[in-house]
Amino acid sequence: MQNKKIFIFLPDGIGLRNFAYSDFQSIGLQENFDIIFWNNTPFELTDLGFKEIKIQNSKAHPLTESYKNARKQIELNLNIRRTKDRVYDTYRFPFSYATVFKAAKSLFTQIISFTHSSKYGLNRIRKKIKDEERKTLYYHQSLETLQKEKPAMVFCTNQRPMTAIAPLLAAQDLEIPTATFIFSWDNLPKATMVVETDYYFVWSDLMKKELLFYYPYVQESQIFVTGTPQFESHFDTSKLLSREDFFKQHNLDLNKKYICYSGDDVTTCPDDPKYLEDVATAIRELNKKGNNLGVIFRRCPVDFSDRFDKVLHDYQDVIIPIVPLWKKIGDGWNTVLPTQADINVQINTIANTEMVVNLGSSMVFDYVAHNKACAFINYDAADKKIPDWSVKKIYNYVHFRSMPTPETVFWINSPDEIAEIIEKGIKGDSSVIENAKKWFEIITEKSPQEASRRIWICIDNILKSI
């Protein structure tokens, strides 16, 4: 009888939303898969009724982080040489010299990057990472778990974490097929691939082309286009509250129409509070003309700063914050984990607002799934927090080049345009929404509500072929 035991490997909490809080688990069970979550998060998945094996020690080799960072630098260097496009420089993070230890790590990474910036050098670093990880206790414990459990496949929910390397290597060394899901629409141009697996699951044909371009060692036969479970919940009407219940739950005014301002993290948008203030000012002006509007502010779930406090206080007549229901487990951004409850809050926020305003986030797709428009902030604040930061940097990123036409969103080019654009957005400009739908179909597979089912079909086909 065919072995249908599948390890869903959660190297961090990023994959919880897609693979624990969606219908992914229930669909797999319907198809008679034996699903075990190999869990490296602090969440207890047994509380959700899932079978899990907790990872107790996920410590990488001391040199792996430096080699991983060097690999990123090398890949970006090679991308610049291949494309003659300096945009890849904008994906680099500044090196830290805050302590002697950090300075030494930064210097080591820079030396390795400089001396290995070739295809041959990159291959050496890729091999070095694997060699070092095979020396770790984490790798050997992973071997023991896999030898005991004998899964038919290990499916990794995220290609980025360093903690994913050792378990996937252990599986490959035991000749257990491995696969990884490319987590986000902007990940591949950023050189975020940390793991190497037998198979890759991607959102779209566009992402498949990117994977083949940026990672030439990957073969077309290894790639499966499935879409992403990220958007499935928008098509589940059972999660929707009545307007009355949602408004009562969050102290909203039933007589008002609301727009959503969706915040970014402080690195992506250091001037977010000023943009929120500009939107709130425009709403006040519209209300003076006889409108009855408000703003629901949804901050970035990993932003626990106090940077919005003043504008929320000064515009409390206009802005109602609805705090994302994520749990903060540690200090890093990747230790702030999503919850099932927050998915429901987000869906109902979208259902009960007229449009969204933000700086270039994927919320454009969440809103168009509900046939609603998005407006992108497209001007620099007069008094910028960081002098050399600019919206131009954001919109020059590679993933925005997939936009089929500029008329896919409303562009807010100055604070003076906000009120007019909000009026257009509330009316529901059909051409903008239709263009946004076309963009949605470019960045993810059609019928986005079927992504989980497509992933299981592909896993089944892989198992039948080996």
**Is it the case that residue 332 has pLDDT exceeding 60?**
no
Q: Residue 167 and residue 390: Cα distance in Å, rounded?
A: 40
What's the whole-model pTM score? 0.95
Is the model's pLDDT at 1 over the cut of 90? Answer: no
Evaluate whether 138 touches 60 at the Cβ level (below 8 Å). yes
Specify the amino acid at residue 403.
M
Q: Work out the pLDDT band at 156, boundaries 50, 70, 90.
A: very high
The Cα–Cα gap between 190 and 186 comes to 7
Query: Residue 370: CB partners within 8 Å, gap ≥ 6?
Result: 234, 350, 351
Average pLDDT over residues 248-272: 95
Is 447 in contact with 234 (CB distance < 8 Å)? no
User: CA–CA separation, 109 vs 103, rounded Å?
Assistant: 10
Q: What is the SS3 assignment for 231?
A: helix
**Confidence band, pLDDT 50/70/90 cuts, at residue 331:** low
Report how far residue 366's alpha carbon sits from residue 230's, in angstroms, rounded to the nearest whole number: 9
Name the band, by pLDDT with cuts 50, 70 and 90, for residue 339: confident
Q: Residue 333: is its pLDDT beyond 70?
A: no
Neighbours of 442 (CB within 10 A): 17
pLDDT digits over 3-57, tens only? 999 999 999 988 999 999 999 999 999 999 999 999 999 888 998 899 999 998 8
Is pLDDT larger for residue 215 or for residue 383?
215
Structural domains of the chain, with CATH: 5-60+136-228+448-465 (3.40.50.2000), 64-132 (no CATH), 234-443 (3.40.50.2000)
pLDDT of 335 higher than 70: no
| Residue 334 predicted with pLDDT over 60 | no
Helices (H), 165-270: 165-173, 205-214, 243-249
pLDDT for res 328: 75
* Strand pairing report for 199-202 and 52-54: unpaired
Is 330's pLDDT higher than 80?
no
Look at residue 420 and tell me whether its pLDDT is greater than 90: yes
Q: What pLDDT, on the 0 to 100 scale, is given for residue 43?
A: 86
| Percent of the chain whose pLDDT exceeds 70 | 99
